[in-house]
Amino acid sequence: MGGKKSYIQNQIKRIRLARTDLTQVELARRVGATRQTIISIEAGRYSPSLELAFRLSHVLGEPLEELFQFVPEWD
């Protein structure tokens, strides 16, 4: 995706701890991903695919826009 910069914030760790008692391992299992993937996403190293984002939203019981915020392009 060439062009202006932007990134995506996420509230996964906060919501996972606040609204559930899931461990990273358990969350990973339920969304069908690995623990490393959860760690990397919580740490903001990359943002998930749309599919994984939907699954996280579903498992954590929060709408997508609550879990992820688009921080728009500056020049």
Partner DNA sequence: CCTCCATGTAAGATATACCTTACATAGAAC
Partner DNA sequence: GTTCTATGTAAGGTATATCTTACATGGAGG
Per CB under 7 A, the list member of 6, 9, 19, 46 interacting with DNA is: 46
44 contacts: CB under 8 Å, gap ≥ 6: 9, 10
8 binds its own copies (CB under 8 A): yes
Cα-based angle 49, 67, 19 (whole degrees, multiple of 5): 125
**Other CB atoms within 10 Å distance of the CB of residue 25:** 11
CB distance 69 to 8 below 8 Å: yes
Residues 30-69 that bind its own copies (CB under 8 A): 32-34, 37, 47-55, 58, 63-65, 68
Which partner from the list DNA, its own copies, none does 21 bind, CB cut-off 5 to 8 Å by kind?
none
Site for DNA, rule CB under 7 A: 1-3, 13, 17, 23-25, 32-37, 39-43, 45-49, 51-52
